[in-house]
Every structure is written in C-alpha cells, then in structure tokens.
Amino acid sequence: DTAVSQTPKYLVTQMGNDKSIKCEQNLGHDTMYWYKQDSKKFLKIMFSYNNKELIINETVPNRFSPKSPDKAHLNLHINSLELGDSAVYFCASGYLRDTEAFFGQGTRLTVV
C-alpha cells in the first residue's frame, strides 16, 4: 500500500534514555516532516527535509535530530529523553510548496 508509515506506534521509556522513531514514505514525495502534537492538540513543526536540505524549527532542542538515509526515509532520534517530550509525534510527506501533506499514523511517546 502507498502510505507514510512510522514505527513504533507506541513507545514508553524512562527519562534519560535515547530512542528513535522511524518513518518511511513510498509516495515519491520530495519533502518529509516531523511534527509534535501535545496534549492540547497543537501540531508543531519540528523539522522539514527536502533534497538533503534540513530546515529546523529553532525552538526544537538539539536533543532531537532527524536522520535521512534517503529521500524516502526520515527518522527521528531523541537523546536524553525528558518528561516534557511525552507527546504524539507525526511524520508526514508532501511536495515542496504543496500544502497537502500525508501523515503517518503517529507515535505516542510516553516518558516516565
């Protein structure tokens, strides 16, 4: 099936750990994103990645780092997890300058 898929769907981990979330799209899109959705449902852009150009939202802590082995994958690595990192993280893909983005199912991260 053509889609944006991210794994895992749920992730429970302890403070201070390092974790990764994987994302893959087979839609042929040239741009991928990571969003954080908090308990108030705000969808906050964290990163976008287009043709090896990474755009970072300046408010994102440097404990968060995206890694893209190729244009179909954009993984999210998080170091030294904190309680405030608990949220749902969405990967998405689309075409540059297009406002239609396709979202993955989300990863619910809980830091305890």
Burial 70-109, CB ≥16 within 10 A → b, else e:
ebbebbbebeebeeebbbbbbbbbbeeeeeebebbebbeb
Interaction residues for another protein, span 76-105 (CB under 8 A): 90, 92, 94, 96-105
Nearest-approach distance from CB 59 to another protein, in angstroms: 11
Beta carbon of residue 31, minimum distance to another protein (angstroms, whole number): 9
DSSP states along 50-71 = ETTEEEE-TTS-TTEEEEEEET
Is residue 1 part of the contact set for another protein (CB under 8 A)? no
Q: Is 54 in the site for another protein (CB under 8 A)?
A: no
Q: Which residues bind another protein (CB under 8 A)?
A: 33, 35, 41-45, 48, 50, 55, 57, 90, 92, 94, 96-106
